[in-house]
Each structure stands twice: as structure tokens, then as C-alpha cells.
Amino acid sequence: MMSIISGLTRFVCCRRVAFICAILLVPAAQLWSGEDLPPGPDNPRSIAAVRLEGGESIRLDGILDEPAWRQATPATDFLQQDPDEGEPATERTEVFILYDRDNLYLGVMLYDSDPDGIIAYQKQRDARINTDDRFLWILDTFLDGRTGYFFETNPAGVMSDGLLGGGGGGGGGGGSFRFPVNKSWDGVWEARSTRGAYGWSAEVRIPFRTLNFDPSLDTWGINFSRTVVRKNEESLWNGYRRNQGIFEPVHAGRLTGLQGMSQGRGLEAKPYAVGGWRNMPEEEDPTSLPTDAGLDLTYSVTPSLRAALTVNTDFAEVEVDRRLVNLTRFPLWFPERRDFFLEGSGVFGFARSRNMNPYLSRRIGLVEEEPIPITYGTRLAGQTGRYELGFIQVRTGRHRTVPTEDFTIARVKRSLFQQSSIGVIYTRRATGSSDENPAPPDRHTQGFDLDLKTSRFLGDKNLEFQAFLVWHTDPVRNDGILSFSRDFGSHGVTLGYPNDIWNGRISYSEFGADFDPAIGFVRRNGYRELSPRIEFSPRPRSIPAIRQFMFDLDIEYLTDLANRLQTRRIDLGLFGIRFESGGFLSMGAVQLFEHLEEEFTIHEDDVHGDIVIPEDDYSTLGWFLRGRSASRRPIAGDIEINSGQFWSGHRLGYELGLMLRPYPGVSLGGEVERNDVSLLEGDFATDLFRLTSEWHITPWISVTGSLQYDDVSEIMGLYAKFRWIIRPGSDLYFVYTHNWLNLDEQPLRFDLTTNSQGVASKINYTFRF
């Protein structure tokens, strides 16, 4: 097998081959477009929105008792996606839609033959409510089959939302073969739910000001999905097949009859004020009382294109990152949590490469995870015709040794055919002078990506092709934004077949020796990679307790730019089982070869000395076991064990997680991660602990907290937050943080001293005009 992979790599390594692949695939427009094909096996259903007239109004209480609801014809007759694809849903659902000049209203009746069996643990805004019975829906406001808004609620009235982009998520009612939902987006809308002997019901109001849309359209895409969690049942109104799903706007139904909607003047002002107390014992002036104020402005240039301005931006309420222990020689990636960079972020998404992104917003306003003040920022995001546009300009202030910097990001995507797109991206990072150094040359990055998709391959199967090309200027000398050097460039292609029973892809990419985009992310450079993957997931009908088996093979084959083997990873999933209860179990083996050209420090120890892995070739074999119980239960857990050869020795690692939900809205969680490593160069262990607690008094008032410790940083961190959603878009926060440094060098012993401590209060209020 290794000789075959090596031969394939040498063959693919020629850039002409990748170029020829693209040339051959692009003219196959009929395959990707589907313009002359019928709408598909689902034949989109439609539902008419009824306009409220005169003094009619909806009182949002979850009870559909207003006469107006009886004027609407409901969407019903949902079909199962799981467990019995295409069969009628076992519980009846009815969806009614009304609207007036300013708002869209949904009324939902979710009948249940066992109302006492309804599950609703979650009360947190934007919670992952796959633990609960839930109702989900999407709105494709441009009827383009590729972008949209996602919403969901549960019997407790939780509001969770997100953005769909680049073709959605697809496959599996709550899962994703492709793009997941960007759930960090928080729209301004309201939902109320109530329960009764019939089951449960919900009323929803979505202001049109919250949505970007094309006012010339009287029809939108819309789809609905329902989860009955005790049955582990997912049903949909449209696009019920497992290769489709709620997150694929192209398979949505139609919402008709829309006209005369208003976004008002399109202006939204959100001032904020923050005050607090901070204690930094190591600084010359350890105690301070910081206060600040700022403003966020949003303006709808058109109903589908929004501009934003933020002045003196503050992120006091942003939650701390989850601690991670890194035993590799490459950097880790952390998700964005700041609202300014999350709003409209879908348009900035670039070709899907797990090892590279030309734009990573966490490179702005953060240095070694320490916040840098943002003086101002501007953003333009939205659509016009067949184009998606995105622009960001941010200036960060001087902070300690970090000089003032300006960041520019521009992105344009044009839709192709029915589900595809082509795009370009440009970034610029301009660093000012410091006391010691003059200003370096501006750093420019350019990129191109192509994304071809069809959901009608071989009738009803998904097929994807992606290609990208990125390059940047020499960071030392200013050689012009259009100059191209192989050392500062990267490119790649991927062919994917993301479907339910058979799921596979093959990708090739190359990264220059000095490739390092200034506002981007790259795990390593100076290599070529060939990565094939295949998964077979049959659904046995003869074993009632098992919903699906999974067997997979994932290979990474990396060479340097002279085609010398650097890394070969063969990940073999011996078996995976998805149980009907919602639990999961898998086991596999990993064979790894690493050619280490430079030594690296895997463990720092001030007492016994650092442990350094020397240059050499390393071939190892290990195994893993992973499992989790059904998340719908009041006590749920997960486990992962990794064992086997590791560099010059052996490693045993395990992760254990436990979640308790004694009452609706209350959860207590604990996680433990430990690695015992024994090497020829020395032995060491790492420990990480995490405790979390949440008390959601109502969907509008909550108290959350976390306590984390790892013995690599030797920092114990406490984070606690009170949040009151005064009304959608307006919040009051109280945040307390406390970080301690552990001075005791002995494992699992503590001699704590305060490293930093702070209290912050913040209020923001949204005014809409």
C-alpha cells in the first residue's frame, strides 16, 4: 500500500496535474448546474404566508389562540429522515405563517402522543438543544439555494440561531456532511413555547430588520424539521433524504405571498458602557478601575447589504477559551467568539482546507491570547445579485510592546450554477513603528477559490470539487501585491463524495517553504500532502438496537518539496456504532511515520529539565477507543482512550466527561484529560481538569461558570458570568475572572497565588430606526 501511495504522490505533485483536473471539471457545467433538470426527488412543497390586516396582532405567548392563525393553511405531513427514511413522522406537526409590514410570524403545533415524555433540559440562549425535543427551520431569503438563516426552539422557549453559507450543512437532521451552521450569529427575534395535554406549541416573531433579503422577491426558501428525542426521530417537511437535510437550502420548500415588507430606515445603534476592577499583582500599578464606553452602528445600505461601524470596541463578556494540551509541534486553532467578527462571517469563508486559511479573525486584536484594544472597525457584508461581498477594516491601538496595526480584508464570491461559487480574497496587514523598530513593509495576501457542488450526481447523490490558490508578499521586502513566489504560495484541489452510506474524498495540496499569511492560519509549511479518505456506513435492519455501523480509512501522506517522505498517517476505523438510543462507540488503530528534521521540545520542566525529541525517523502504532452515551439522558458521559507507541516510547491518554442535568435549565459538567508519556528522553505526565456549571433561570436570565486547570501552563482559571437579556439585542452582564499560578512543582498539589483578577459589568442597548 505504501508504494502505491508514494507513487500517487509523485504523480500528483506536478502542479500541471491539479490544473488539468480543474480544466476537465469546470466545463462539465451540466453536471454541476442542474439548470435543465427537474427540481429533484423532493419536488419542493410550498406554504403561503398570510398578511395580517387592520388591527390584527399576535401576542407572543406560545398559544395559538388568535383568530388570524386560523386564516393560514399549515405546512404538515412531515417525513422521517431517521430512523425510517421516507416514512410519515410518528407525531403530527403543523406550521402556520403570518406576516405584517415589520415582522414574520410562525405558529407551530407539535402534537405528541406521550406529552409526559417530552424532554426540555436547555434554557440557554444559543444552547445546543440536540439533547431536547426541538423544532428547527431555515429561511433562504435570496432563494439562491446556498445561503440562509437557521433557527430552532424547544418546549422551554430557548432561542438558538445561526447562519448558513456556501451550500449549507446537508445530511442528517442535526448533522453535517459539509458546512456546519455558524451558530455564533445572534439575531434579534423572539420565541415563546408552552406545553399541554396535546404536546407543545410555539410562537415566533422575526423582525424583517433582522434579515437581509431581496425586496423584489415574493418567494423565499423555507424548511422545517422536528426532533422527538426520546425516539431519536428526525422528520422534515422538505428534503427528508439523508443526503439532503435541513441545513441544505437547495432542498428547501417555498414560502410564497410575501410583499410590502419593511426594514425601517435600516439603522441600528448599540451603545455600551463598561466598568470594573482589575488586579494584576505582577505589574507596577497592580490595581485599576477601568471604565469605558463605545458604540456599534449598523446600516442597511440595501435590504441585502449591511455596513457596520464599531468604535472603541469592548469584548468584556466574551467567554474564555477551552484549555487544550498540545503534544504536537504545530499550533492549535481556537474558534472566534467576538460578535464584530462573527456578524456576516459567512462570506469570508474560504476553500475548506483543514491546514490553512488566508483569513483568521483571531489574528486581529489578540497577541498570545492577550486582548489588544480595537480603536475602530468597519464592516460591509451581504449580497447584491449573484455576488456576495465582504469588507473589513480594523485598527488596533498600541499595547505594551505591540505597535498600532491596520488590518484590511476584502472578499468577493460569485454564485455559479445552482450550488457552486467562485471567489477571491485579499488581506493586508500594516504594522506601525515601535520605539525600537521602524515600520516593516505591509504584508499582502491574495487568494482564489472554486467550489463546485451538485446534489444530483447519479440521480440524488452529492458530489463536490474544490480548488484554491493563495500567495502573499515577502514579509521582509515590499515586492508588490501581484508578485507571485512559489515559496510564499499554496494551492490545492479536493474531490468529495459526501453521502450517507458511502462518504469519501481525495485531496492534494502544496504549501511553500515560507508560506505564512499575515492574517491567516497555517499549521506547517514547505510540504505536499495527499489525503484520501473513505467511509462505509451501512444501516442494518436486522439489529433493532443499532442504527448505523461505520468503517473508515483516512490517510495523510506528506512529503517535503523535494518529494521526500515527512509524515505518513494511516487512521483505520475498525468499527463505529451509532445506537438507536443516541449513543456512539468506535474503535480504531493509527499507524504513524514521522521524519523529524529538527528537534523540538515536547515538555518543559524547570526542575528536572526539558524533554527534547531529537532528529530521527519515528514509526509508531497506536489504537483508540471512543464512546458517548445518549445526550438526552439526565446523566450523560463520554470517554476517549488513546494508547500505543509515541515517538521513542509509549503514551497512554484518556479523556473522561460527565454531564448532570438534575433540573431543566441546570447543568453540572466535569472533564478530565490525562496523558502518561514514557520516552527514552524522559517521562512526563499532563493533566487537565474542567468544571462547568449553568443555571438558566429563564431563557432570558442565566448564571454560568467554569473552572479550568492544566499543569502545562500551571494556571487555574475561574470564569463566572451573569447575563440578563433585557430584550433581544440588549444585554446586561456581570463577569468575574480569577487566574491563579500554581507554585507547587509536584503533580496534583497546589500552592496557588493570584496571577490576575477582575470584575467587569457591561450594559448595551439596541436602538432600531
Query: Could you tell me the three cell numbers for 1?
Result: 500500500
How far, CA to CA in Å, does 518 sit from each of 67, 357, 521, 527? 59, 11, 8, 19
Q: Enumerate the β-bridge partners of residue 767.
A: 269
Q: Say how many C-beta atoms besides its own lie within 10 A of residue 320's C-beta.
A: 16
Low-confidence ranges of the chain (pLDDT < 70): 1-42, 166-180, 316-318, 369, 478-483
Phi, psi of 292 (to 5 degrees): -165, 165
Nearest to 533 by CA among 551, 553, 550: 553
Query: Could you tell me the three cell numbers for 162?
Result: 445561526
C-alpha–C-alpha distance, residues 396 and 310, integer Å: 12
* DSSP code at position 75: B
Check if the beta carbon of residue 153 is closer than 8 Å to that of residue 120: no
User: Is 270 exposed, middle or buried, given 0-12, 13-18 or 19+ CB atoms closer than 10 A?
Assistant: buried
| pTM reported for the whole predicted model | 0.83
C-alpha–C-alpha distance, residues 211 and 185, integer Å: 12
Reduced to 3 states (helix: H, G, I; strand: E, B; else coil), residue 383 is strand
- Exposure of 520 in the CB half-sphere (CA atoms within 13 A): 35
The amino acid sitting at 407 is: F
Q: Enumerate the β-bridge partners of residue 444.
A: 428
C-alpha–C-alpha distance, residues 746 and 136, integer Å: 50
pLDDT of 31 reads 52
Instruction: List for the chain the helix, strand, coil content (%; round to 5).
Output: 10, 50, 40
- DSSP of 291-351, one letter per residue? EEEEEEEEEEEETTEEEEEEEEE--TTPPPPPP----SSS--------HHHHTTGGGG--S
Q: Print the SS3 string covering 566-621.
A: EEEEEEEEEEEEEECCCCEEEEEEEEEEEEECCCEEEECCCCCCCEEECCEEEEEE
- At how many degrees (to 10) do helices 2-12 and 15-25 cross? 80
How far, CA to CA in Å, does 622 sit from each of 336, 573, 588, 603? 33, 12, 9, 21
Reduced to 3 states (helix: H, G, I; strand: E, B; else coil), residue 704 is strand
Query: Could you tell me the three cell numbers for 492?
Result: 490545492
Rg of the chain taking only CA atoms, in angstroms: 27
C-alpha–C-alpha distance, residues 241 and 462, integer Å: 12
Sign of CA dihedral 614, 615, 619, 623: positive
Check if the beta carbon of residue 199 is closer than 8 Å to that of residue 109: yes
Check if the beta carbon of residue 111 is closer than 8 Å to that of residue 192: no
pLDDT of 151 reads 96
Q: Say how many C-beta atoms besides its own lie within 10 A of residue 643's C-beta.
A: 15
C-alpha–C-alpha distance, residues 569 and 531, integer Å: 9
Q: Which domains does the chain have, with CATH numbers?
A: 1-33+331-514 (no CATH), 34-256 (2.60.40.1190)
Query: Could you tell me the three cell numbers for 82?
Result: 431517521
C-alpha–C-alpha distance, residues 503 and 496, integer Å: 8
Q: Enumerate the β-bridge partners of residue 735.
A: 721, 760
**CB environment 703-716: b (16+ within 10 A), e (fewer):** ebebbbbbbbebbb
C-alpha–C-alpha distance, residues 701 and 123, integer Å: 9
The amino acid sitting at 334 is: F
The amino acid sitting at 658 is: L
pLDDT of 176 reads 36
- Exposure of 403 in the CB half-sphere (CA atoms within 13 A): 14
Check if the beta carbon of residue 395 is closer than 8 Å to that of residue 374: yes
pLDDT of 329 reads 81
Backbone torsion region of residue 25, taken as left when φ is above 0, otherwise alpha when ψ lies between -120 and 50, otherwise beta? alpha
The amino acid sitting at 697 is: I
C-alpha–C-alpha distance, residues 274 and 292, integer Å: 5
Reduced to 3 states (helix: H, G, I; strand: E, B; else coil), residue 449 is strand
How far, CA to CA in Å, does 283 sit from each of 288, 534, 717, 742? 11, 54, 19, 18
Check if the beta carbon of residue 433 is closer than 8 Å to that of residue 441: no
How far, CA to CA in Å, does 429 sit from each of 483, 505, 520, 727? 17, 34, 11, 38
pLDDT of 8 reads 41
- Exposure of 426 in the CB half-sphere (CA atoms within 13 A): 9
C-alpha–C-alpha distance, residues 642 and 209, integer Å: 50
C-alpha–C-alpha distance, residues 346 and 229, integer Å: 30
